Structure 1
């Protein structure tokens, strides 16, 4: 299991990507990577909802060196994600800068690839 996923599991032991219900916020930026090349980064706040009896949480992840970013139907007061997934495709023979495929396979709201994922935080929200 990847380190970022271990960090999530420590705070939410029964975490499942299907618990991610919506996109709360995102920041796109271009910065330098570890080899001082320009690269794209996307930091996302995601709503994790485990049910009525448990608090709602904001999970913040930073996706590093993203490519092929597509967002559709984003805006308004609610950006629902049904079927959010992160798939490790490193064994599929893809380019080395495309280790993960991130998408919303139900609504096709979001789709991109990235080289690395960093866990930023989990916090309870009202």
Structure 2
């Protein structure tokens, strides 16, 4: 399991959680936290907030999980229709590769050309029970 801040917010509700339990994307928000007045300054921080639908392995309710990704790069997203379905979601720690400010590769393995990015930091922001009908 990658080093995700506030992961205990999820594991308190779903003790056998894996990132592959994140099955759908319902909201996707990209922005840049501006540190200086220069638009292309290396001190500006690309941010990404994604709301996922978490479907536990056991009989349990679905959850809406908000996760924030910091210092996002090489973002690839192809979406159409309604929610984005994830086939085999993965967050891989690549900090040993020696890339500056890149610790994680985030992707849907089976649809990597449609959903993939790199980031430096990951934090769970919120989790709440969802009453959506899935299926």
TM-score normalised to the size of structure 2? 0.81
Verify: 1:48 aligned to 2:68, yes or no.
Answer: no
- The structure 1 segments of at least 4 consecutive aligned residues displaced by more than 6 Å after TM superposition are none
The secondary structure found in structure 1 opposite 2:123 is strand
**1:15-30 superposed matches below 5 A:** 15-30=17-32
Change (3 A) 1:11 1:51: closer
Give the aligned partner of residue 103 of structure 1: 107
Unaligned segments of structure 1, at least 5 residues? none
Q: Deviations over 1:81-121 (max 9, x none)?
A: 111111111112222x1111100011223111111111101
The answer to whether the 8 A contact 1:17-1:83 is kept is no
User: How far apart, in 1, do the equivalents of 2:13 and 2:59 lie?
Assistant: 17
User: How far apart, in 2, do the equivalents of 1:116 and 1:52 lie?
Assistant: 29
Change (3 A) 1:6 1:89: farther
Unaligned segments of structure 2, at least 5 residues? 36-41
The secondary structure found in structure 2 opposite 1:57 is strand
Of 15-24 and 61-70, more deviation after overlay is shown by 15-24
The secondary structure found in structure 2 opposite 1:106 is helix
User: How far apart, in 2, do the equivalents of 1:5 and 1:105 lie?
Assistant: 22
User: How far apart, in 2, do the equivalents of 1:10 and 1:92 lie?
Assistant: 32
User: How far apart, in 2, do the equivalents of 1:64 and 1:86 lie?
Assistant: 14
2:92 to 87, 91, 94: 87
User: How far apart, in 2, do the equivalents of 1:119 and 1:51 lie?
Assistant: 20
Q: CA RMSD in A?
A: 1.9
Change (3 A) 1:87 1:51: closer
